[in-house]
A and B are shown apart, each in its own frame.
Chain A
Amino acid sequence: KNQVEQSPQSLIILEGKNCTLQCNYTVSPFSNLRWYKQDTGRGPVSLTIMTFSENTKSNGRYTATLDADTKQSSLHITASQLSDSASYICVVSPRQAGTALIFGKGTTLSVSS
């Protein structure tokens, strides 16, 4: 069964610190892996999209990595800010045409001052 598992479920860090969120998936084959940020009460916003052949993709202080061999991805946030407090969702797109995206349950990040 195609699944996307994220860890940790929640995380609290101090402002200015770095953190790394994990995503393990069983989807195979897949065409791309995405990371979204969802603020409370808002819709998800795309951070990065990586194809199966890419290893890393950056968007400002956000850097996503992908290891297709181990079926793992991570999202690294550098120098965290209060505005980074949100849910971060890992999404995998199966390669089979017409197959829906598979969403992880998300990691809730709280950045405190």
Chain B
Amino acid sequence: NAGVTQTPKFQVLKTGQSMTLQCAQDMNHNSMYWYRQDPGMGLRLIYYSASEGTTDKGEVPNGYNVSRLNKREFSLRLESAAPSQTSVYFCASSAGETYGYTFGSGTRLTVV
């Protein structure tokens, strides 16, 4: 089925460990996004990529890095995980700013 695929679905890290969240879309969308969702808060943008080869910071980029590997893949890296990064992370893609977003099913990350 077409859509956005995120891996892993669940992850537990110790403080200071690093990891990369993977995201791939097969809809030929130009734009891709990483969001985090915390209880009682709306989704917040971490980083986005308007097109292959470009990335920009969103609302909450500190502690994260991203790579737009090609048009399909957009990864999110935590270099030194902190408990404040415990959250559910969603990757999304769209054909452009005026189009709807397609979200992945999320990665539930716990940092202990």
Q: Which residues of A are interface residues toward B (Cβ below 8 A)? A: 4, 31-32, 34, 41-46, 49, 89, 93, 97-98, 100-106
Interface size classification for chain B = 20 to 34
Are A103 and B103 within 8 A (Cβ)?
Answer: no
Q: Choose from B50, B92, B98 the contact partner of A93 (Cβ within 8 Å).
A: B98
Are A100 and B45 within 8 A (Cβ)?
Answer: yes
What is the distance, in angstroms, from A7's C-beta to the closest C-beta of chain B? 14
Looking at chain B's contact residues, the main secondary structure is loop
Chain B residues within an 8 Å CB radius of A102: 42
Query: Complex: how many Å from CA A69 to CA B58?
Result: 29
Q: Which residues of B are interface residues toward A (Cβ below 8 A)? A: 4, 40-45, 48, 50, 56, 58-59, 90, 92, 97-106
Are B101 and A105 within 8 A (Cβ)?
Answer: no
